[in-house]
Amino acid sequence: MRGWAAPVNSSLLNHHCVCVVSPQQLCLTVREREREREAEEGNIEYKLKLVDPTQYRFEHLATQMKWRLQEGRGEAVYQIGVEDNGLLVGLTEEDMKASLKTLRRMAEKVGADITVLREREVDYDSDEPHRIAEVLIRKVPDDQQFLDLRVAVLGNVDSGKSTLLGVLTQGELDNGRGRARLNLFRHLHEIQTGRTSSISIEILGFDSKGEVVNYSESRTAEEICESASKMITFIDLAGHHKYLKTTIFGLTSYCPDFAMLVVSANTGIAGTTREHLGLAMALKVPIFIVVSKVDLCTKGTVERTVRQLERILKQPGCNKVPMLVSSTDDAVTAAQKFAQSPSITPIFTLSSVSGESLDLLKVFFNILPPLSNSKEQEELMQQLTEFQIDEIYTVPDVGTVVGGTLYSGICREGEQLVVGPTDEGKFRELAVCSIQRNRSGCRVLRAGQAATLALGDFDRSLLRKGMVMVSPEMNPTICWRFEAEIVLLFHAKTFHKGFQVTVHVGNIRQTATVEALQGKDELRTGEKAVVRFKFIKHPEYLKVGAKLLFREGVTKGIGQVTKLQPASQYQQRHPSGSSTA
């Protein structure tokens, strides 16, 4: 755990931006120092002083900044006045001024922007006040348009998800009767019933100074993309139980970095809230919570809802550490700690009608770093190209267009790929004519990025959601049958051979039959087993280790793919097998 709030004890978290660390607290810090030492890897750098460096040292500092930026995939945090071992020494006003000036020059040299996140006074036996400062450095990598984070939005029906997104992305408060969500709905029947049934995507862009770029008049997605250096893409998932499969699809296929669970302060944990929390945890998507509609209830009711959430989060099954965010300082700390430890669960309490505490959520989004580091990202980019198809459209004058996420490798305009598997387990050749991200052209797509790819006159009827477009050299394993280690979360009766469930793995969603339960005749709620599934309609491209979720009515389970039975292998061994196998 790094970051300076950590050594200073958590009661300080509720104070405002500039606070004083007492000598006693500093002593505590000294004892805990070993744990707080600067990490060699990662994007956080401690600097005691940057006063008048020689040219040689300046060059070295600039190179180091480049490296830290690379580690944070375009973002780094500098803590000034802090020794490498984590000791909060602090600088005099004059030294701090000179250090920040050097930091600005370093950032200029590497083409980055800097924002002072917070300054704090360190108090010890000295007449002169000593301060420490925390500075965010941001540079969009040369080959990228902006830094990109994906947030899945979960929560019960009417908890205020769409409204919150409307208010965040449009900059105008809601009237409590659904005004803000109006421009988010995509389908007519949603306007009529006021419920989100499809997955809609909203974007919130920040410029390099941390200001939201969405808010000027008639901002189009293209304009937001052009002026943003950091982009939060929200995947708004439906709250109603009826749309659970869409919610699961959004969580499994859109590869969100984080999930935001919206809970209405006046109803507390109701309806699908628990289920959504469970789903995000089962899929290991780090979650933070927004308690909305605080304008509708008393402080006591808000506190009760927060306590209810804290209780659930701390339960043995969850093992989360709730962290209530009630100041800008907390929001900064929450963003950093959340990224370092997924068990930390920030909780915001706000209103989309009065606007109370909305700014804290924006501070959090601006600072929230991506979870995977540059090394993991680099490794994924080195692999062969694999694009997962989530959506298929026909666009006039463009032709067939697919939407989805590039799981690995790089994809360029003009790239030759193969798409499949078809019902026969084959792959077809195609070419990527053009690529768009958030409705703006993009020539190179990198692993982890979502985009739409135009495929020219490729026949749309040959495509389906769940297919992959891969590099022709890949030779992917296609299977009808696979084994998974599962845990049955809930089942009304018993789970046995012959049972059919809807299986979700990544962007794949298909009914499968339970062909065998290893070493057991049946399974009860809470039990584990290795199960062999067989898809009923067509073979799929799966990977060992992929997370899996299945359901059928009230039956629900989670697990992991442990073994694949390649379709061709099975056909060779069972030449007279059923026509589908």
Q: Which residues bind ligand GTP (CB under 6 A)?
A: 155, 157-163, 174, 176-178, 181, 194-196, 238-240, 292-293, 295-296, 351-353
| Phi, psi dihedral angles at 325 (to 5 degrees) | -105, 115
Distance CA 142, CA 129 (A): 40
Judge whether 331 and 363 are in contact, CB under 8 Å. yes
Cβ proximity to ligand GTP, 239 vs 539, nearer residue: 239
Amino acid identity of 450?
A
Minimum distance from CB of 260 to ligand GTP (Å)?
11
Residue nearest to ligand GTP (CB): 239
Tell me the sheet residues that pair with 437.
440
Judge whether 531 and 514 are in contact, CB under 8 Å. yes
386-395 sheet: strands from edge to edge:
428-431, 416-420, 468-470, 386-395, 399-408, 450-454, 434-437, 440-441
Minimum distance from CB of 205 to ligand GTP (Å)?
21
Amino acid identity of 285?
V
Cβ proximity to ligand GTP, 120 vs 293, nearer residue: 293
Minimum distance from CB of 159 to ligand GTP (Å)?
4
Minimum distance from CB of 267 to ligand GTP (Å)?
11
Nearest by Cα to 71 from 141, 21, 10, 5: 141
Cβ proximity to ligand GTP, 153 vs 430, nearer residue: 153
Minimum distance from CB of 466 to ligand GTP (Å)?
25
Look up residue 519 and give its two tokens: 């070493």
Judge whether 542 and 561 are in contact, CB under 8 Å. yes
Cβ proximity to ligand GTP, 60 vs 299, nearer residue: 299
421: preceding bond cis by omega (within 30 degrees): yes
Cβ proximity to ligand GTP, 292 vs 477, nearer residue: 292
Cβ proximity to ligand GTP, 2 vs 181, nearer residue: 181
Contacts of 25 (CB under 8 A, 6+ apart): 8, 9, 12
Nearest by Cα to 205 from 167, 169, 257, 255: 169
Minimum distance from CB of 258 to ligand GTP (Å)?
18
Distance CA 168, CA 358 (A): 8
Cβ proximity to ligand GTP, 263 vs 410, nearer residue: 263
Cβ proximity to ligand GTP, 267 vs 434, nearer residue: 267
Contacts of 364 (CB under 8 A, 6+ apart): 288, 325, 331, 334, 335, 346, 348
Judge whether 321 and 347 are in contact, CB under 8 Å. no
Cβ proximity to ligand GTP, 300 vs 396, nearer residue: 300
Nearest by Cα to 288 from 449, 196, 150, 151: 151
Q: In the 8-state DSSP scheme, what is residue 462?
A: G
- Distance of CA 124 to CAs 74, 81, 462, Å? 36, 14, 71
Minimum distance from CB of 354 to ligand GTP (Å)?
7
- Distance of CA 75 to CAs 36, 78, 329, Å? 20, 10, 19
Contacts of 22 (CB under 8 A, 6+ apart): 123
